[in-house]
Amino acid sequence: MTSLPIRSPVRILGIDPGLRRTGWGVIDLDGNRLIHVGCGSVESREAQPLAERLRALHEGLARVLADFNPVEAAVEQTFVNKDGASTLKLGQARGIAMLAPALFGIPVAEYAPNQVKKTVVGAGHADKTQIRVMLGVLLPRADPPTPDAADALAIAITHAHHRQSAALKLKVAL
């Protein structure tokens, strides 16, 4: 008689990029169970030059990656603002959010904001209050300190639900 392999949980890091504050959320996916591991945000000071702000975001995310050792990561895609300069700065923060896990050898998936909302709440135009309520249902031990941390947990949950198709897309692209 052979024993079945012991499956271990998959640790997922969700990142909600922002130049002022980048939210992060870590969950474990154990079969169909979602387990809250940690969440928070990395902040940069507006008074600093852009390069310093981006460095602060990178260093903060690198600490999160080293502390929690995720094996997969997911980042929310950027929506286009009316203000081009703001969109560009958000894109730069998003680049840092994608680079940090990549430097740790972790694959990074991307999800549109409406897909995150639809996955977590069931409606693509849900508001932040609805997301927070559903986080309480899906991750009862989670108490995100900021809206960015809550969004990051929602992104991690979205990846947990769509990771097989995201992995397939990566294989096809290679």
Residues 6+ apart with CB under 8 A from 53: 19, 44, 45, 46
**Active-site residue (options: 16, 28, 72, 151):** 16
Residue type at 78 in one-letter notation = T
Q: Are 151 and 76 in contact (CB under 8 A)?
A: yes
**Active-site residue (options: 28, 72, 148, 151):** 148
Query: Alpha helices, DSSP H only, in 69-146?
Result: 84-103, 113-120, 128-138
**Active-site residue (options: 28, 72, 76, 151):** 76
Active site residue 16: yes
Active site residue 28: no
Residue 138, CB-side half-sphere exposure with 13 Å CA sphere: 25
Active site residue 52: no
Residues marked as catalytic: 16, 76, 148
